[in-house]
Amino acid sequence: MDSSRCIEKLEKKGVRATSIRIIVLDALMSSSRAMSLSDLDTVLDTVDKSSIFRSLEVFEKHHVVHSIDDGTGSIKYEVCEGEDECTVSDMHTHFYCEKCHRTYCLKDIEVPVVSLPEGFELHSVNYIVKGICKDCSRKP
């Protein structure tokens, strides 16, 4: 656990760094994939699920994380890279594996540009590609 990195990120976003928030953020930052509330509850078995949920709400409100709706009915969360708001780099492609049900961030694959009509304002992009991940494709 790198609590100093978590504390620094929370303080930059104006979020009080409680012990629970540090634990939740560390789990998200250490993961190679986006995580749901249920994923976090499993990994953080000593932390109450409602405390994890409240932390995620605060994180999303303060742009520490952004949510991903991958169509499974279970919202996933990923740490924002930007200093203030979630940035364009946070608007990247996500891959949902139909076999293991994990959502992966594909940061090197840009979301296609969408030209909105005049008067429309873009706030976020949710671009999900579905298929079988490389780990599952190797399994017999």
Is 133 a known ligand-binding residue? Answer: yes
Q: And the tokens for 32?
A: 């190679």
Whether 33 and 71 have beta carbons less than 8 Å apart is answered as no
- In 3-state terms, what secondary structure has residue 128? strand
Neighbours of 101 (CB within 10 A): 13
Q: Is 6 annotated as a binding residue?
A: no
Distance (Å, whole) CA 94 – CA 105: 5
Annotated binding site: 97, 100, 133, 136
| Binding residue ranges for Zn(2+) | 97, 100, 133, 136
